[in-house]
Amino acid sequence: MTSSFFLLQLYYDERPRGVTACSCGASFTIQQIPRSGEVRQLWSSSVSSSFSALMSSVPLVLCNGPGTCVPLCATGLLLGILGLKRVLIIYVESICCVETLSLSGKILYYFSDYFFVQWASLRDKYPKAVYSGRLV
């Protein structure tokens, strides 16, 4: 239900501007994927639903910090290890984390392909981190 609302909102917002392509001139499509988890879903069953979502989607996970993204990223990593699908994992640490990483960040720092922080002080502590200023 929620996904349909946001999809309609996206069309409503972009249609008056005539947006059918990005600024580089390439056209885009919107692809809906199955949810990787539901409210009150058990962690044990979230891996199978995450697996289903990743197998039907583009090979990219972009997440920004909530602990619920860890099972999804772990599933993406597992798909790569098993040779079923290469999933690119991009993690953006919360802007609230100024001096240390969140628990999700501490876990995904080692497994993400790209790890973005929003404070230069964190880039200094974590060499793999990419600092590009404020992102969200």
Task: Note the pTM of the prediction, 2 decimals.
Answer: 0.67
Q: Is the pLDDT of residue 109 over 60?
A: yes
pLDDT value for 1 = 40
Q: Which residues face 112 on adjacent strands?
A: none
Reported confidence tier of residue 32, pLDDT bands at 50, 70, 90 = low
One-letter amino acid for residue 66 of the chain? P
Reported confidence tier of residue 6, pLDDT bands at 50, 70, 90 = low
pLDDT value for 132 = 84
